[in-house]
Structure 1
């Protein structure tokens, strides 16, 4: 809630009283304000004059920086002469003093006295929202629009909260109550957000185009329009949106970063680099460009950007990491990346990060001795860092000692029972040891602590699908996981497999096609693809899937060969 604003009330004061109080208003001294108050303490003032006088006393306390006394004065005024304006002023002041519950109660009490005040309603809803009480915020606005059905501003506020809560259908219904002729750019924008939330991308794009046509300065609408166009693969359209935003003076660094990324995706590398040069060096934007260039297979240009970054921030302790990323991810030179990171000394504030990356690279290239040596150093130097404990467990598992990894993680979980990341790693280790009942209990603990944890939900949903039980519940769990990570290929495989078990083969195939777009190298998933494609009548696809599964080395090659032969 913002700091309180000072509002002049002199128009409501008797002229002589204004003159008498003028020294108080022009001075910050306690003496002058005290003398003015004493001078009028015994006088009999009209209720209106007394109210105005107390408000000036309140303002004087504010000028002195004495917010506590200011709040007391204004609270007393609110009790004797309540009004929406005074309640809002008092709540703002209480909020600034970090008295959030008191501020909320001030607004609640005033809202009961003045139920038709839109200002009070909006402030109270905002207070609830900032205190993470969205249901109460929506209830306040719902009650207000019930008695003010034509208040477009209130309908927009309610729809915005509904959209934030994921209630997209309800938000769209609320906004639809605003007559077509009264739907301004903000209304159209909120309708587009709700429509996009319902996965109706084309309709959302059409609404966003109407919104920016109605108000070309509505940057949030341009941004969402660009994002949806990117999602649909219309990179040229997205580029046009970002350029329009920049042309109107949009200064957000993220906009130029997204423009650069879109240009790189369109293979307009030279334009992307030129765009970077048009603005002062910005670390986050240049790092994003390096990442985009590496993803597009342009390590040489990534090094050019890094050189510019190094010139802009010479001696930065972060530079070795970017150099290592280019060597490892872009140029596929893991040993060079290791050599670069080995030059990072313990006095570097990011030495722990350097150790972590070195451990992972050494492990991935098969240098387990180096990885183990680095883990030992990391565990000794940073004994409380759970990431290094997890890396040690991963090394044990990679060496085939999953039991030791589970024991290590089990001890860590006993010491930190609320750490959902450690719990998940422990559950996976138990699963690998075929201790599935124990693994399920661990995953259920995670969901009890974090009902939207995507990894645990996917594990439980997939397990239920494998066992053929509670398939509708399994489907809900997996879809909740996908809401967090919509492009996760393993989650998509779980979704497809559950739909397959429900004999919804065409839906399963569509989900699996999306998963396969991520170039997965997992024999189980390819076998699933074969089973689903065969059930959906796509025998050629099924044959290719089974052959790929055999090339990747499934646990049951005989079974896969039988399926292939039966096509």
Structure 2
């Protein structure tokens, strides 16, 4: 830190600093009792605010432990004694950021800048917070002030230029990075970002020159070399692109990013033998180096990536090492994203229990089995997974859900209670057990479980809604039911099922005029749900709107696969034909 910013401002008494030094030595030597006595001596020492030194050190200790509230408290005490210390204010702002209190951090920095508007570090911190808070105009203004005060601030140019790039304001970005290059001509970053701008503008010759210059300045910075490769490919200069890939591999034969990209390029160019050789090489490498898997995930499984490219690479790699569980998991993810469920299930099923992705593969495969109504296979899968990972309560949660789907409620209860014996306060398990009790006809026990969930997680919208709806279905405690559901709706205002619950409470209270628009909104939010449609029909019927009620009942019946008789009975009572 700069000498002028030694925290806090060095003051009058040597004794407090001597005590702090003794305290640090005591901590380092593992003498907590002695160090505590030293701290007490520091706090009790004469001189008014001499405790600020200790407050600062205590704040740093709390920061290291991640106790941000305590760190803030000690820093505020130190600032009260030394209100002119820029360092302490910036330290407090950083603590506020760790507390996820961005407005608090802004308040601290604005107070600092009001007293010292030339504090460049404070302007830089404020700009980053404003950017994070989604206030780009304010962030740009703060960065411009920082640059006006200190034109040598490299990080200010880079942050401001990147902000303009993010806004696609190419002229402004170009102006900033040109200033950067003029001031720091030997810094690769300015040339690299100028090259990106030129490439976006279609000025490929200028981009090529700038990329090459950035590589000359820092050959170890690979991002420039990959950008150059992409530019060569855009320009149709594939031979140059291949030479760049080969140069990267010559520098580092284990460079998975270059190797896999070159393999894909060979495949797309019809050079199947060379592609297969590279895929096999990095497939074998992946058995001992997780970086290969990391490249696959970052470059080919990202949400914006083309899944077909990942599929080509993974199939080629699995051809070389067909028993590689981790590659099978990634292949399962790719096929799932491509909605090729059979292939996804086949890959997930080949992930062995010793794979780092075993638990994720089991969860994915269980979901797909459920999606395709293959519940017996899902039960077998989870039973074996529990044998392999007896401490994994999620597997018991899934298994309980599969038993529930087959109406095997006693087995579901047993499975979930086993999991709760391991994690008594697991709200997912408690909620699922409550649902099982509800379907089993044991509503008092359902209510008790939902109350437990809410006690542990007062903002659990699903539990609030479930308890409120259960009361409504039973016709009891309707005022409390309304309060619970209103709380849930405040948390999930556009949830069709919670909206339906509120309308159903109104219905049960006899408030049919109020119930109808709420239920109709629920039906718009969840248009395929037959129960909600039936509720809308019930409200129409109570209001004497027979035609509308019949229409709702018919549409509900079309969507309902089981328990259809109540709807049929309602249609017949209204004298309507049953489709």
Specify the TM-score bucket, using the shorter chain as the normaliser: 0.5 to 0.7
* Secondary structure in structure 1 of the residue aligned to 2:13: helix
1:509 aligns with 2:514: no
Q: Contact 1:5 / 1:89 at 8 angstroms: preserved in 2?
A: no
Q: Contact 2:311 / 2:335 at 8 angstroms: preserved in 1?
A: no
| Superposition map of 1:85-96 within 5 A | 86=53, 89-96=56-63
Measured in 2, the distance between the counterparts of 1:110 and 1:460 equals 49
Measured in 1, the distance between the counterparts of 2:96 and 2:7 equals 33
Question: Residues 97 and 5 (structure 1 numbering): CA distance in 2 closer, same or farther, change over 3 Å?
Answer: farther
1:350 aligns with 2:357: yes
Measured in 1, the distance between the counterparts of 2:522 and 2:533 equals 13
In structure 1, the partner of 2:308 is: 303
TM-score (norm 2): 0.54
Measured in 1, the distance between the counterparts of 2:61 and 2:427 equals 37
TM-score (norm 1): 0.55
Measured in 2, the distance between the counterparts of 1:549 and 1:404 equals 32
Question: Residues 321 and 50 (structure 1 numbering): CA distance in 2 closer, same or farther, change over 3 Å?
Answer: same
Question: Residues 510 and 305 (structure 1 numbering): CA distance in 2 closer, same or farther, change over 3 Å?
Answer: farther
Q: Contact 2:503 / 2:516 at 8 angstroms: preserved in 1?
A: yes
Question: Residues 427 and 10 (structure 1 numbering): CA distance in 2 closer, same or farther, change over 3 Å?
Answer: closer
1:289 to 303, 310, 323: 303
Q: Contact 2:546 / 2:574 at 8 angstroms: preserved in 1?
A: no
Measured in 1, the distance between the counterparts of 2:457 and 2:384 equals 33
Q: Shift of the alpha carbon at 1:154?
A: 6.8
Measured in 2, the distance between the counterparts of 1:122 and 1:532 equals 60
Measured in 1, the distance between the counterparts of 2:27 and 2:348 equals 52
Q: Contact 2:393 / 2:422 at 8 angstroms: preserved in 1?
A: no
Q: Contact 2:462 / 2:488 at 8 angstroms: preserved in 1?
A: yes
1:430 to 437, 445, 448: 437
1:496 aligns with 2:500: no
Question: Residues 494 and 246 (structure 1 numbering): CA distance in 2 closer, same or farther, change over 3 Å?
Answer: farther
Task: Output one character per residue of 1:77-119: Cα deviation in whole Å (capped at 9) or x when no partner.
Answer: 6643316964653343332464958756755766887999999
In structure 2, the partner of 1:146 is: none
Question: Residues 499 and 93 (structure 1 numbering): CA distance in 2 closer, same or farther, change over 3 Å?
Answer: same
1:244 aligns with 2:171: no
375-384 or 359-368: bigger deviation = 359-368
Measured in 1, the distance between the counterparts of 2:169 and 2:456 equals 43
Question: Residues 68 and 92 (structure 1 numbering): CA distance in 2 closer, same or farther, change over 3 Å?
Answer: farther
Question: Residues 60 and 110 (structure 1 numbering): CA distance in 2 closer, same or farther, change over 3 Å?
Answer: closer
1:439 aligns with 2:362: no
In structure 1, the partner of 2:457 is: 450
In structure 2, the partner of 1:50 is: 13
Q: Shift of the alpha carbon at 1:437?
A: 0.9
1:561 aligns with 2:571: yes
Question: Residues 563 and 354 (structure 1 numbering): CA distance in 2 closer, same or farther, change over 3 Å?
Answer: farther
2:46 to 80, 85, 104: 80
In structure 2, the partner of 1:393 is: 400
In structure 2, the partner of 1:324 is: 332
Measured in 2, the distance between the counterparts of 1:430 and 1:77 equals 61
Measured in 1, the distance between the counterparts of 2:327 and 2:493 equals 32
In structure 2, the partner of 1:380 is: 387
Task: Output one character per residue of 1:182-205: Cα deviation in whole Å (capped at 9) or x when no partner.
Answer: xxxx99x99xx9xxxxxxxxxxxx
Q: Shift of the alpha carbon at 1:433?
A: 1.0
| Superposition map of 1:449-468 within 5 A | 449-468=456-475
Measured in 2, the distance between the counterparts of 1:384 and 1:364 equals 26
Q: Shift of the alpha carbon at 1:457?
A: 1.0
In structure 1, the partner of 2:341 is: 334
Q: Contact 1:423 / 1:443 at 8 angstroms: preserved in 2?
A: yes
Measured in 2, the distance between the counterparts of 1:64 and 1:307 equals 61
Q: Contact 2:328 / 2:347 at 8 angstroms: preserved in 1?
A: yes
Measured in 2, the distance between the counterparts of 1:65 and 1:516 equals 64
| Superposition map of 1:525-536 within 5 A | 525-532=532-539
* Secondary structure in structure 2 of the residue aligned to 1:80: coil
Q: Shift of the alpha carbon at 1:460?
A: 0.8
Q: Shift of the alpha carbon at 1:129?
A: 9.9
Q: Shift of the alpha carbon at 1:321?
A: 3.8
547-556 or 406-415: bigger deviation = 406-415
Work out the number of aligned pairs and report it: 413
Question: Residues 467 and 349 (structure 1 numbering): CA distance in 2 closer, same or farther, change over 3 Å?
Answer: same
Q: Shift of the alpha carbon at 1:478?
A: 2.3
* Secondary structure in structure 1 of the residue aligned to 2:167: helix
List gaps (5 residues or longer) in structure 2.
Answer: 112-125, 144-162, 177-188, 190-226, 232-256, 258-294
Q: Contact 2:401 / 2:412 at 8 angstroms: preserved in 1?
A: yes
Measured in 1, the distance between the counterparts of 2:5 and 2:82 equals 23
Task: Output one character per residue of 1:352-407: Cα deviation in whole Å (capped at 9) or x when no partner.
Answer: 33233333333443444433432332121111212222233233233332233223
Task: Output one character per residue of 1:288-330: Cα deviation in whole Å (capped at 9) or x when no partner.
Answer: 526xx9xxxxxxx543466579999999965534543454464
Question: Residues 124 and 67 (structure 1 numbering): CA distance in 2 closer, same or farther, change over 3 Å?
Answer: farther
Q: Contact 2:430 / 2:453 at 8 angstroms: preserved in 1?
A: yes
Question: Residues 106 and 309 (structure 1 numbering): CA distance in 2 closer, same or farther, change over 3 Å?
Answer: same
